[in-house]
Amino acid sequence: MLHKLIDWYDKTVGVEPVSAHCDIPCKIYDPSAAQIAALSVLRFMDLIADVEKKGNLSVADQAELVRLTLQKEEHAEIAKHEIRVIWGDYIKQPHIDKYPDVHSLAHSIMMAGSACKQGLDRANGEKLLKLINEFAELFWATKDVSTFTATSPYPPNETVVYPKLN
């Protein structure tokens, strides 16, 4: 009902329809947010493991466990979202022609992110970061920017792909 009323108003007043092709301003894409989210997933998994080692958990420990688990799952979703935006909005046919595995890679990231949300196996977090690093390399290659790897300067001190910026 409301939709019909708005349509009627638009037609009566002469409002022109508009559309947008992406979520964010054009050319503002960077996989670093996904990489940081994946590092966070690993860090939360490590912190959860530390709480688990305590054995009998106090109420405060249980509350901490709930918060850490929530953050782990939220950051896994952030990682997935950031990759989906680049994959869906930035990757175009010329990129697909040059990097035909991009769809498979993005799908693998979605699956690894889901595995991180569903469980606590650190290997899933490592896989998520590895795949996102591969995606970052591919992404920067589409812009003719070379990359290098370095250990992140904060826990969990894992290897991350960075662009070589001049």
- Token couple for 95: 């990129």
pTM here is 0.85
- In whole angstroms, what is the distance from residue 49 CA to residue 54 CA? 9
Kindly list the structural domains of the chain, giving each domain's residue range(s) and its CATH number in brackets, ordered by start. 30-163 (1.20.120.400)
Stretch (H or E) spanning 38 = helix 32-52
The string of DSSP letters for 61-126 reads HHHHHHHHHHHHHHHHHHHHHHHHHIIIII--HHHHHH-TTHHHHHHHHHHHHHHHHH---HHHHH
pLDDT band at 23 (very low <50, low <70, confident <90, very high): low
- In whole angstroms, what is the distance from residue 72 CA to residue 65 CA? 10
Average pLDDT score over the chain? 92
pLDDT in tens, 96-134: 999 999 999 999 999 999 999 999 999 999 999 999 999
- Token couple for 26: 């054009």
- In whole angstroms, what is the distance from residue 118 CA to residue 121 CA? 9
- In whole angstroms, what is the distance from residue 40 CA to residue 54 CA? 22
